Amino acid sequence: MINIPKGTKDVLPEQSYKWQYLEDAARSVAAAFGLKEIRTPVFEHTELFLRGVGETTDVVTKEMYTFEDKGGRSITLKPEGTAGVARSFIENGLANSPMPLKSYYLTPCYRYERPQAGRLREFHQFGIEVYGSAQPETDAEVIFAASSFLNKLGIKGARLEINSIGCKSCRAEYNRALKEYFRPHLDGMCANCRDRFDKNPLRIIDCKEEACRKITAGAPKILDYLCPDCRAHFESVKGYLSALGVEYTVNPDIVRGLDYYTRTVFEFVSTAIGAQGTVCGGGRYDGLIAELGGGNVPAVGFAAGLERLLLLMDNTGVEFPAPPVPRVYVAGMDEPTRKKAFGIVNGLRVKGISAECDHMARSVKAQFKYADKIGAEYVAVIGGNELESGSCTLKRMRDGQTFDMPFADIYEFLKNNI
């Protein structure tokens, strides 16, 4: 037997309605916020992620699915959604469209990680990206869209944590302060952090190693190094959030895993799904488009991990609306009545009514049992009499009530009996 690759999951027919529910919720929130879908390839040139995600990030140094294609190009399966959207924005000249450009995506992502609950090698993200606005209300709107999505799903207890990691100039000063602080501790830190110390000391704050975390606890905080503009921006974002009634806490240790963030960063975190508690992360990335060779276009967005949301919903007993069931099951007894049932059922399907009949040569009794198992709302049996009279009885399974009607009226009846 050939097994599924490590860190991937099948979504089986009995479970897929949960995924569709999540995706429908994402699309309806996106529509309400005026976001249009963008679809970009699952694979891109590796260079895009080196530049767009950042060479010192965990994603790039450890987690990418990179391979050489038959043409000798280095190709990488997308580890996140933003870099591809930014590439597309530049390549398609979307800076010329009316700003802001508001987009969303639903996409699989690939990261070579150690699989655990809520951490997979193939996972899925709902993300939104707004290009062109540097205004703080756009940050607040994006955060509010994430919060609306979680609320729509019935998720409670996902805490919003926000921070500002400043712009290039405040970060330069902060990085200097970090270096001064970490220099005497370097011997006690992991090899990765020693490397980050030279290349990008901010990344040390994100290290998950216990020893590094202890040292990091006493490190200078970015909020003390914000320039006046970045400070004003952060204050304004907080003001807009409060005006919308969005609760948050400021967590100066959030720096986010990707290099392209500037100013606002945020996460929605839950304690109900163990160590992998971040269900949604995002922020502002004003330098990304320029970094990838486009113009000076500010941007803000988030990505939510759908597997973690499903896990959180399952763990906290959030109800999913029941999946749709067949409206009617039509049973037959012998060759001519089965043929009639088959005809009625397919006639209904063409008109958009979900209907079912026998495919397993079952007895009428077994067909009733099956109809019950699949949750059919009504059952009709076509026998010799029915065939002759051209009418039948629909039995409502919920309460046993019966309704007589000609075959030709079944459609109208079901359409009106919603």
Which residues lie near ligand ATP (CB under 6 A)? 80, 111, 113, 118-120, 123, 125, 257-258, 276, 278-281, 303, 305, 307-308
Nearer to ligand ATP, 78 or 327 (CB): 78
Peptide bond into 100 cis (omega under 30): yes
- Closest among 273, 274, 256 to 265, alpha carbons compared: 256
Locate the DSSP E strands across 253-383: 262-269, 278-284, 299-305, 328-332, 355-357, 378-382
By the 8 A CB rule, do 31 and 61 touch? no
Nearer to ligand ATP, 310 or 344 (CB): 310
Smallest gap, in angstroms, from Cβ of residue 135 to ligand ATP?
Answer: 23
Nearer to ligand ATP, 139 or 307 (CB): 307
Smallest gap, in angstroms, from Cβ of residue 103 to ligand ATP?
Answer: 17
| First-last CA distance in the chain | 45
Q: Is 135 helix (H, G, I), strand (E, B) or coil?
A: coil
Locate the DSSP E strands across 218-354: 249-250, 262-269, 278-284, 299-305, 328-332
Shortest Cβ contact with ligand ATP: which residue?
A: 305
Smallest gap, in angstroms, from Cβ of residue 213 to ligand ATP?
Answer: 13
Nearer to ligand ATP, 187 or 210 (CB): 210
Nearer to ligand ATP, 118 or 132 (CB): 118
Query: 203 vs 129, 216, 251, 405, CA distance in Å?
Result: 23, 11, 16, 71
Nearer to ligand ATP, 125 or 337 (CB): 125
Smallest gap, in angstroms, from Cβ of residue 170 to ligand ATP?
Answer: 22
Nearer to ligand ATP, 233 or 308 (CB): 308
Smallest gap, in angstroms, from Cβ of residue 75 to ligand ATP?
Answer: 20
- Closest among 78, 76, 64 to 112, alpha carbons compared: 64
Smallest gap, in angstroms, from Cβ of residue 86 to ligand ATP?
Answer: 15
Torsion of CA 16, 21, 26, 31, to 10 degrees: 120
Smallest gap, in angstroms, from Cβ of residue 13 to ligand ATP?
Answer: 22
The DSSP bridge partners found for residue 381 are 331
